[in-house]
Amino acid sequence: MTMGAVEVVRIVKDGLSEGGSMTVIASVTDDPGNVVYVWYINGESVGTGEAITLGSNLDIGVYGLDVTAFTADGKRAGSTSHMFYVIEGVPGNIIAATAGTLQSFIIKDDGTLWAIGYNSEGFLGDRSTIDRHLPVHIMDNVISVSSNGHGLAIKSDGSLWTWGWNAWGQLGNGIITDQLIPINIQIP
């Protein structure tokens, strides 16, 4: 049997405030039937089942969430890993979040964008290259964000903003210089 990939198919929240919770649901892409899911946080088993709710007992920090699927005969059917965080210092409701390799972004219900993490080449867009271990405000009126060494945000007016690492011109601003602050990208 070939090993299938386990997909995290639904994350209710990708980041949570201290005392909050999130629910994660997984499935195997090539479901061999009768699969048992085992969930781990930072390498320690925390439960079994297709879904798990996490967070209410977790301290502030960044966590590795792993899920491994096993068939009824004990063979591994697949696995995946996901990073999530528990934060303080951002009052209000978090409505969206994304995690890059080494940084995370949070959108609150008031449209403010916040960043946490590694900040080489301006990954966070906060006018610096200083790593941030607590959330720092980046911009306002944001409805969507994505990151992977560089950030992309869409504001409520439909405008596109980018920042961070730009070695191959991936920011779309016509140059190959890293950007420490969000810049508006005009789409022709």
Our count of domains for the chain comes to 2
Which residue segment(s) compose the domain that 138 sits in?
94-185
Element holding 33 (H helix, E strand): none
Higher-pLDDT residue of 114 and 79 is: 114
Distances (CA, A) of 157 to 8, 35, 125, 137, 144: 31, 45, 20, 19, 12
pLDDT attached to residue 88? 58
39 within domain boundaries: yes
Task: Give me the CATH number covering residue 62.
Answer: 2.60.40.10
Asked if pLDDT for residue 10 goes beyond 60, the answer is no
Confidence of residue 136 (pLDDT cuts 50, 70, 90): confident
User: Torsions phi, psi of 120, nearest 5?
Assistant: -60, 145
DSSP letter for 122, please. Answer: G
Amino acid at position 135, single letter? P
Contact 123, 102 (CB under 8 A): yes
More confident residue, 104 or 158: 158
Distance CA 61, CA 28 (A): 28
pLDDT at 16 over 60: no
Mean pLDDT calculated for residue range 174-183: 94
Report residue 140's pLDDT band, with 50, 70 and 90 as the boundaries: very high
Write down the mean pLDDT value for the chain.
Answer: 78
> Looking at the predicted structure, is the pLDDT value of residue 98 above 80?
yes
The fraction of the chain above a pLDDT of 70, given in percent, is 72
**Are 136 and 68 members of one domain?**
no
In tens, the pLDDT along 68-91 reads 888 777 777 777 777 666 665 555
Of 66, 7, 72, the closest CA to residue 36 belongs to: 72
Identify whether residues 119 and 173 lie together within a single domain: yes
pLDDT top residue among 53 and 166: 166
Is residue 22 assigned to a domain? yes
* pLDDT number for residue 66: 80
Please state, in angstroms and rounded to a whole number, the distance separating the CA atoms of residues 20 and 18. Answer: 6
Same domain? For 119 and 178 the reply is: yes
Last residue of a domain, one of 65, 87, 109: 87
Give the mean pLDDT of 147-165. 93
Same domain for 83 and 98? no
Q: Does 36 map to a domain?
A: yes
CA distance 155 to 138: 12
